[in-house]
Structure 1
Amino acid sequence: MNNIRTVSDTKRTFYSLHTRPINSIYRRVIEELMVEMHLLSVNVDFSYDPIYALGVVTAFDRFMQGYLPESDQESIFNALIKAEQDDPQRYRGEAQHLQELAKNLSVKDLIASLKSPAEGTATEWLGDLQAIAINPKLKYSRLFAIGLFTLLEQADPSGIQDKATREQILSQLAEALHLPQDKLLKDLDLYRSNLEKVAQARLMIEEMTQAERKKREQRANEAVGASAPDTSN
């Protein structure tokens, strides 16, 4: 009988690899991502693919943007992937490679190629997408959706910002890849909304930190002024 790793096992491994405290605003983000990845990894229908890896990397980098100390970001990412018994460099390398490929392909070409693959047109990762489209046991995930959306951002950074255009493109891709359209749109709307919330929370913390710094400086200046000798007489 195989022993399936538990969420507790994964968390224990993570905190043994990254031993420094994690700022509270980010701890929940990291643990939710960790649990999501763990539950996928133990699902019999789940299989790793580069688009999923890109989703993991993108979600981590964007939610962790502004984390201090900045030097801890790499340690946290490495611990996260190793806790899932995988290779951080594999995730980083494949994510970067996919984004470079996507920059050379328009969204229109992407959808057309999925419907009727054109020989020599970004076949390397179109092959991954075509394999996904014909997989009857594909385990859809939010992280895969984020990876797919990141590819679209690289292929058409301006067009994907328009809500109507974005939803039309995502609907076409969902149909071509046999993904749950409503869930895809909902997951990506929530992802974008959560990014905004984290950015707002980060801004609030920065403002509070600056205000506290100014108060300390003001108190220090007042203390210096009070201790200075009176030379008016």
Structure 2
Amino acid sequence: TPTVSETKSSFLKAYKRPIPSVYNTVLQELIVQQHLMRYKKTYRYDAVFALGFVTVYDQLMEGYPSDEDRDAIFQAYINALKEDPQQYRADAQKLEEWARAQTSSSLVEFSSRDGEVEAILKDIAERAGSKGSFSYSRFFAIGLFRLLELANATEPTVLEKLCAALNIDKRSVDRDLDVYRNLLSKLVQAKELLKEYVDREKKKREERSESPKANEAVKKCLGEYQYLS
């Protein structure tokens, strides 16, 4: 099993360009968390987990200066975890398309129907119901939430029923979704600060005396952005 630092180092070797720290700080935190999930004895890749990660990644990287870089970072990140970035994307897309076609009731009644996604969910329910062969994680919770969102099934009772059908502890899901929402709101604020900073720097290039103050303020909030100026 690779160490956390080996995984991080694989990521940095695969993607060598600087990443603005508003993104990089969160990416580094995520890769550590995901490394620990990935190398748990009970870990087994599943499409809901993939959907959760893709959802988080796309939210985090929204507004990234370059689409090409955003994709390259995604590839480097998943490859560093010795998994398949194409599979993540394909599975996430498959689940998204499926969820868009569901209603609140069809979503929670997956076990009574046949189909590719239904089979994935049945497998999860079976493993989660037997001790030791399912590893719950925050990304899984976010994947579930995304399914509900796409099916427009946002009533709290639907999440409860879906968790019950999947043999997942709803309290863990609720807790992790709170953490996720909190992260998203922090990200939005951080990105707004970054944008203001970049705009201000553009305007004030000639007024160099102003620059140290702006630098200082942003440094305090978000870390180092020197290379943007």
**1:55, 1:148 within 8 Å by CA — same for their partners in 2?**
yes
2:147 maps to which residue?
151
Residue 191 of structure 2 is aligned to residue 180 of structure 1? no
Which residue type is aligned with residue 119 of structure 2?
G
Residue 57 of structure 2 is aligned to residue 60 of structure 1? yes
* Aligned counterpart for 2:97 among listed residues 97, 100, 103: 100
Quote the Cα distance in structure 2 between the aligned partners of 1:23 and 1:6. 25
Q: Percent identity?
A: 40
Q: How many corresponding residue pairs?
A: 204
Quote the Cα distance in structure 1 between the aligned partners of 2:28 and 2:158. 31
Instruction: Give the C-alpha shift of residue 28 in structure 1.
Output: 1.7
Quote the Cα distance in structure 2 between the aligned partners of 1:179 and 1:217. 58
Instruction: Give the C-alpha shift of residue 192 in structure 1.
Output: 1.5
**2:110, 2:121 within 8 Å by CA — same for their partners in 1?**
no
User: Which runs of structure 1 show a deviation greater than 3 angstroms over 4 or more consecutive aligned residues?
Assistant: 216-219
| Root mean square deviation, CA, Å | 1.7
Task: Return 5+ residue gaps in structure 1 as ranges.
Answer: 220-233
Quote the Cα distance in structure 1 between the aligned partners of 2:181 and 2:195. 21
Which residue type is aligned with residue 109 of structure 2?
A
* Aligned counterpart for 2:135 among listed residues 134, 139, 144: 139
Which residue type is aligned with residue 147 of structure 1?
G
Residue 70 of structure 2 is aligned to residue 73 of structure 1? yes
Residue 4 of structure 2 is aligned to residue 42 of structure 1? no
Quote the Cα distance in structure 2 between the aligned partners of 1:217 and 1:106. 57
Instruction: Give the C-alpha shift of residue 35 in structure 1.
Output: 1.3
Structure ID, larger Rg: 1
* Aligned counterpart for 1:124 among listed residues 96, 116, 119: 116
Instruction: Give the C-alpha shift of residue 69 in structure 1.
Output: 3.8
Q: Deviations over 1:85-140 (max 9, x none)?
A: 111111111111111111111122111334xx135xxx211111111111112110
